[in-house]
Amino acid sequence: MLTESHERIINLIPFGKDKAISRSELVALTGFKDRKVRDIIADLRDHEIFICSTSGQKGYWQATKREELEDLADEFHGRAMDILETESKLRKYIRVHEDQLKGDINE
């Protein structure tokens, strides 16, 4: 269920990449803490309100083109792959150093 806070954020995020609003602007306009703004945007995405953003451009916007949604999906895929690569390296490290990791790591 969307709350009044969700609605405030939705109403402040413009349509179109060229009109993107920064997170600091959202914080200033709402009075919410940065973490709350990020959590609300994540929650909106969980409710299939796909607020767009990319690491290459600062800000948030609502899609006006399919391409913007595809770019968002690609961005999330890239992040997920980076996380999986790090997990794989960590698991390999644990296997390779199993004997040294039997006790407390700082011993």
Taking the C-alpha atoms of residue 15 and residue 17, their distance in angstroms, rounded to an integer, is 7
Taking the C-alpha atoms of residue 21 and residue 13, their distance in angstroms, rounded to an integer, is 6
- Amino acid symbol at 18: D
Does residue 13 contact residue 61 with C-beta atoms inside 8 Å?
yes
**1 — pLDDT class (breaks 50, 70, 90):** confident
pLDDT tens readout for residues 24-69: 999 999 999 999 999 999 999 999 999 999 887 789 999 999 999 9
Q: Could you tell me what percent of the chain has a pLDDT over 90? A: 84
Give the per-residue pLDDT at 87: 97
Give the per-residue pLDDT at 40: 97
The 3 state secondary structure assigned to 22-77 is CHHHHHHHHCCCHHHHHHHHHHHHHCCCCEEEECCEEEEEECCCHHHHHHHHHHHH
**106 — pLDDT class (breaks 50, 70, 90):** low
